Structure 1
Amino acid sequence: MSGGAATTGGGAPAVRSIVIDEPFGPAADWALETDDAFVLSKAGCLETLVKYESGGTLAPMLATSWTQVKPTVWRLTLRQGVKFQDGTPLDAKAVAGALRHALKVKTPAAAFSPDTVSGVKAVGSSTVEVTTVKPDVLLPQSLASPNTGILAPKAYAAGAIDPKGTCTGPFAITKEIPQQAIDLKRNASYWGGHVQLASAEVRFIADGGKRATQVRTGEAQIARKIPVTSVQELKGQSGIRTKTTELSRTTELVLNNKKSPLDTTRVRQAIQAAVDTKAIAAAVYPGVSRPAVGPFAPGDAWAPKGARPVKADVTKAKSLLAQAGVAPSSLKLTLLAYNEGAGFADLASVIQNQLKAIGIKVSIRTGEYASMEPDLLAGKFDMALLSRNYLGDLPDPYGFLTQDYTCKGAYNLAHHCDPKVDALVKKAGATASATGRYALYADVATRLQSRAVDVFLVHETESVALAGVRGYTIQPYYTLTADLSLGAK
């Protein structure tokens, strides 16, 4: 299939189809507790009760309202007239069944699990009640995560998830070529109104350069996550434009806080002072990143006001090591850099040279992330590069901070434990006011940065190549939408 526009008798373009190149495809038989849910959401098939919009705001999707009727009970009113793509109605029974399935899987998603949700029930035909283990002001954010997407009852009938004909979104899957592509057609009965495109093909292509090439040759109309070199190559090409936007993602140098001498704050601060984030942004990610000011980008509502990148200072770094009583020559550290990380090979070499300037010897170990994760989780490493989406587990920083920086966090690769941070995160999770909650997140970010728990390197961007596309916005959950179309600018 190839995207493009047919021409009507009057000469006006009649757009029919589009091809989208995505970097990642389904890897777990469409299990919604995995990243496969995000693939389905980006493909315009899977929808959630609550919609996440840029800037952390929420909007109605399959639910029109949600109210915390008791400290541990949320009541959601479902949108009327919605049908699954197989024609069955979206009602409270179907929604409650889908959410209960999410709770019963072997490894529930962090956004919606028995740790936080104790039950879901239908109340009549159009109301669903979700009961939480303890008061949870962030349940609506959980219900905006694609991991809590709603499929028709028959999707769960055969053991493995079957999304064909069981979504509610603007596009329905008609064909799947495993690990390669899915074909989709317009959902003519879409509750959200007219769907502009008649059909689409979503291709899963790991090579970013190849994704960009397909836009240049006309084989695709959208290519997500194209590399820096491709952005430069596509500039000025007729009919093609690129868009670059900052993501909720930061590249960091993870430091093992429980392993000597990295368990000493001054040693970590010395490494932080030796790493030149400005030089890294310019050399490794030219024009598409900026030095990190901490875990959160400066424009985020939850970032500390006036935060600045740590200025590289070799003299200060050496002084901090001396204050810690550590001879630089005694430090021989290994840096893990997984192959899937964009630019990680170059980044590791730059950091190796920057730490060499203060006398620290760094050896680099590369490999697939899957081969490294057991050692990372077990604390059997010194330093590691990591690209982390801080709105990935939950469309609010609470999920990220809980997972990565609390004492019992399931993804606490830094093996960091600070009762002060735990208390701030816990307080944030119980704060209904977004303003109050964001202020607490900023306090945590300041503490992580000042104590050099990790070395935050750059705030990442995503670059997308587009050919004659209308109605497209870079968004973490949605690519193929009802408003997307092709035609002359």
Structure 2
Amino acid sequence: MKHRIALPAAAAAAVLTAAACAPGTGAEDDGRISVAMLQPPRSGLSPHSDDAFKLSRWSTAETLITLDDVGDPMPGLAVEWESTDPTTWVFTLRDGVSFHDRTELTASAAANALNRASAATPPPRILDGVDMEAEGDDDAGTVTVTTAEEDPLVPQRLSSPQLSILAESAYSGDTVDPVGTGTGPFELVEADGAASARLDRFDGYWGEPAAATGIDVTYVPDGTARAAALRTGEADIVEAIPVSQAGLLDEDQITEVPMPRTNTLYLNTEDGPFADPGLRAAAREAVDAGALVDGVYEGRADLAEGLLGPALPWSAQRPGRDEPTGAGDPDGARITLATFTDRAELPEVATVLEQQLTDAGFEVEQEVREYANIEEDALAGEFDAFILSRATVLDSGDPAAYMTSDFSCEGSFNISQLCDEGVDELLEAAERTPSGEERRAAILEAEAAVLATDAVVPLLHERVIQGDAPEVEGSAKDPRERLLVTAETRIR
């Protein structure tokens, strides 16, 4: 039986009405693009929060560095960089860049933005545990970034939308206002809280001017309403269409993008039945992830071969896995299997896994809550097994931080309560390795060590389903969800 949470008809209608009435949506305003987004801002569009990804998806705020397809650093507002010693990096800024408030991008302005992020409370997630300071040299056009400890990922960190470079006028006390203060091809001109946002083409953009005249954003949390907005022509681009709605749309209107996000079964290695490696192996053998892909996700997901999936093409080069631990006999072992409701498919995943584990000889009790009400217990090891949809590259585009967070002895998100000396050594080696092929190989070695513990059973890799009206050209299909409407996006 499928578990779906539907928005009441009146609420869905209200959402669609809001989308229809938003200024400039649909065909009313020639050359403008209407976008229906999943979540409203949670922190007033502060770049120091996850709202930063909205600013980057609208191409209004930019960073010193961008990333290529494999996660290596590329020029953004900085055109070149070098490490002058293990804790110091120097970035040379691009010439001729203006902020939307018509002030010039200077080294001191860029350093100010980075230092404001470093001093924010709480700090941006990308700077969690990182002590970073920036200093600008306006004469040389360079920004020097210093870290307290050696950090080979500084360029990748500076690609995070949470370290976007805004004009000095954006900052007042502890608040940050991105309206009219970015550098991208679109200027944010109006932000109406949790309702909508409006952006206009910025004619002073340093690169190729935007093809569209502007963007009109409406926040539509309900997936059924978002899909309906695309179907009825109220929205040109719709993000995160639920699997349940994808089949109701024309195939030429949707694109499935492999995500660096893995649905994973975490097993508690410290307490309870899964402290026994043999029972962890029994759980691994009991799981049929193909049934989840074909049933719950209706074929719109990728079967997991490891923690990392097709959104990171280099992960296919992983070494062979060591001989797995032999499975023990569950013999009616009682386990608590938990997950959360915020992602509509996960309760159904839990139901399928409960049956599979029961068939293998476990006695299973489910616990399902909203994520905000279950995270603390999951991190405290209150459950024997926990199903999580987990981003695997976080903000730097590099999976080493995720693996350290989830699987090291001191990891801050270690739901499996795993503490393995060999795993820690490989994770530390990967963290120290400079970016590039050598680092990627080290990450895959660490992944193999984690999988060998059976502390985690990767299930599947999600795909995000993006909807585009037939008239839309050039929208970004970005696995990292940093880009959506770019300077090239247009309405035919």
TM over 0.5: yes
Deviation of 1:304 after TM superposition, in Å, equals 5.4
Contact persistence 2:319–2:444 (CA under 8 A): no
Which residue is 1:406 aligned to? Answer: 408
Indicate the SS of the match to 1:445: helix
Aligned pair partner of 1:261 in 264, 268, 273? 273
Contact persistence 1:304–1:446 (CA under 8 A): no
Which residue is 1:122 aligned to? Answer: 136
Deviation of 1:309 after TM superposition, in Å, equals 11
Which residue is 1:270 aligned to? Answer: 282
Deviation of 1:116 after TM superposition, in Å, equals 2.7
**Within 1, Cα distance between the matches of 2:142 and 2:164?**
17
Distance 1:309 1:17, change over 3 A: farther
Contact persistence 1:25–1:39 (CA under 8 A): no
Distance 1:309 1:171, change over 3 A: farther
**Within 2, Cα distance between the matches of 1:224 and 1:192?**
26
Which residue is 1:228 aligned to? Answer: 243
1:17 aligns with 2:32: yes
Gaps of 5+ in 2: 1-22
> What code does the residue aligned with 1:144 have?
S
Equivalent runs, 1:84-233 vs 2, <5 Å: 84-113=99-128, 115-125=129-139, 126-233=141-248
Which residue is 1:10 aligned to? Answer: none
**Within 2, Cα distance between the matches of 1:266 and 1:88?**
64
**Within 2, Cα distance between the matches of 1:45 and 1:473?**
14
1:477 aligns with 2:485: no
**Within 2, Cα distance between the matches of 1:333 and 1:119?**
47
1:61 aligns with 2:76: yes
1:300 aligns with 2:312: yes
**Within 1, Cα distance between the matches of 2:395 and 2:379?**
17
**Within 1, Cα distance between the matches of 2:310 and 2:74?**
24
Distance 1:267 1:163, change over 3 A: same
**Within 1, Cα distance between the matches of 2:268 and 2:316?**
24
Contact persistence 2:318–2:444 (CA under 8 A): no
Which residue is 1:286 aligned to? Answer: 298
Distance 1:123 1:107, change over 3 A: same
Contact persistence 2:321–2:452 (CA under 8 A): no
Instruction: Kindly report the root-mean-square deviation, in angstroms, between the aligned alpha carbons of the 2 structures.
Output: 2.2
Contact persistence 2:338–2:386 (CA under 8 A): yes
1:76-134: CA deviations, max 9, x gaps? 00111111111111111111111111111222234225x33342111234100011222
Indicate the SS of the match to 2:46: coil
Normalised to the residue count of structure 1, the TM-score between the two structures is 0.90
Of the structure 1 ranges 89-98 and 121-130, higher mean CA displacement relative to structure 2 is found in 121-130
> What code does the residue aligned with 2:474 have?
G
**Within 1, Cα distance between the matches of 2:320 and 2:489?**
38
Contact persistence 1:112–1:147 (CA under 8 A): no
Indicate the SS of the match to 2:109: helix
Aligned pair partner of 1:246 in 251, 254, 258? 258
**Within 2, Cα distance between the matches of 1:271 and 1:190?**
55
**Within 2, Cα distance between the matches of 1:68 and 1:382?**
45
**Within 2, Cα distance between the matches of 1:110 and 1:164?**
22
Moved over 4 A (4+): 306-310
Contact persistence 1:117–1:132 (CA under 8 A): yes
Deviation of 1:15 after TM superposition, in Å, equals 4.5
Give aligned pairs, total.
Answer: 465
Contact persistence 2:430–2:439 (CA under 8 A): yes
> What code does the residue aligned with 1:120 have?
A
Deviation of 1:44 after TM superposition, in Å, equals 1.7
Normalised to the residue count of structure 2, the TM-score between the two structures is 0.90
1:435 aligns with 2:449: no
Contact persistence 1:301–1:438 (CA under 8 A): no
Deviation of 1:306 after TM superposition, in Å, equals 6.3
1:399-426: CA deviations, max 9, x gaps? 2112222211222222211222222122
Contact persistence 2:56–2:62 (CA under 8 A): yes
Which residue is 1:335 aligned to? Answer: 337
Deviation of 1:212 after TM superposition, in Å, equals 1.2
Gaps of 5+ in 1: 7-13, 311-315
**Within 2, Cα distance between the matches of 1:417 and 1:92?**
44
Indicate the SS of the match to 1:229: helix
**Within 1, Cα distance between the matches of 2:207 and 2:401?**
30
Distance 1:105 1:433, change over 3 A: closer
Contact persistence 1:225–1:464 (CA under 8 A): yes
1:424-470: CA deviations, max 9, x gaps? 12212222251111111111111222221111100111111111211
**Within 2, Cα distance between the matches of 1:108 and 1:403?**
17
Deviation of 1:176 after TM superposition, in Å, equals 2.0
Deviation of 1:180 after TM superposition, in Å, equals 2.1
Aligned pair partner of 1:486 in 483, 487, 491? 491
1:321 aligns with 2:333: no
**Within 2, Cα distance between the matches of 1:433 and 1:146?**
19
**Within 1, Cα distance between the matches of 2:473 and 2:181?**
27
**Within 2, Cα distance between the matches of 1:150 and 1:37?**
11
Of the structure 1 ranges 270-279 and 337-346, higher mean CA displacement relative to structure 2 is found in 337-346
